[in-house]
Amino acid sequence: MRSYKTEAIVIKRHNFLEKDRILTLFSKEKGKISTIAKGARRPGSRFSYHSDLGTIAIFHLHRGKNIDLITEVTPIFSPIEAHGRLDRSEKIGYAFKLLDKLYHEHEPHLPTFEVLAQTIRAVSSNDYQLTFLIFLAKVIEDLGLKPEFINCLECGRQLKENDKINFDHRGGLIHCDCAGGGIKNVSNSEIKLLRLIFSNSFEKIGKAKVEVKIFEKVFTIVRNYLEWHFGKILPEKIL
């Protein structure tokens, strides 16, 4: 069938010709999809409002030779509460840029879709401290790159509270001795937070609060880990 529908999120858009918009959707069943919304820039267009970034909706599409055509949109959620709130809209924007860079078209990633939808809703309404950090952890897991946090990456021995530990961007925690020496660069509190965001559900820990210093260090670890694998794709700070 040439026509289909899918639940999806608008993660990128740009104007096309005089009245149209090209939308990149991150969909539940098909992953990233390039689409066109005809007349979306025309005043009063039924697609104008539903082509906003962060819109979650059921999109009805018709397969085209080069790009799929949006024929109907049934809205589910729009992050209107984030509009005009730079701190919130920037975090959602970072999430969209990350997914657009990391994922290829037509490759389904259901866990990422679900945590993206949760992140948009959470940041739009409350912007809990750990929301974006949890989002990054779940994306890393979905990509099959979850770091090792229980045993030493090099020797395989279980990491203990009094051990001197570093984070190795190749894949997780490592004893300082196994890394060739050096000072301890990850505290016990930071290790606990890393384990927390990678081992629990969004709903369970989304509202938790941590000290800013610990949060910033863990965000730096996660950001550098992604940077080591994919290049520079995130800002130095998100608070």
Q: Show me where the domains of the chain are located.
A: 3-80, 128-146+183-230
Specify the pLDDT at position 127: 66
Specify the pLDDT at position 196: 92
- Local structure of 46: helix, strand or coil: coil
Pick the closest to residue 5 from 90, 53, 49, 68 (CA basis): 68
pLDDT digits (tens, 9 = 90+) for 200-214: 877 788 778 899 999
Q: What is the mean pLDDT of residues 112-133?
A: 87
At 84, the pLDDT band (50, 70, 90 cuts) reads: low
At 1, the pLDDT band (50, 70, 90 cuts) reads: low
Q: What rounded mean pLDDT belongs to the chain? A: 89
Pick the closest to residue 26 from 89, 92, 110, 85 (CA basis): 110
pLDDT digits (tens, 9 = 90+) for 142-159: 999 999 999 999 999 999
CATH topology of domain 3-80: OB fold (Dihydrolipoamide Acetyltransferase, E2P) (2.40.50)
Strand ranges inside the chain, DSSP E: 3-16, 20-27, 31-37, 56-62, 68-77, 165-168, 172-175
Rounded to whole angstroms, the Cα distance separating 112 from 138 reads 7
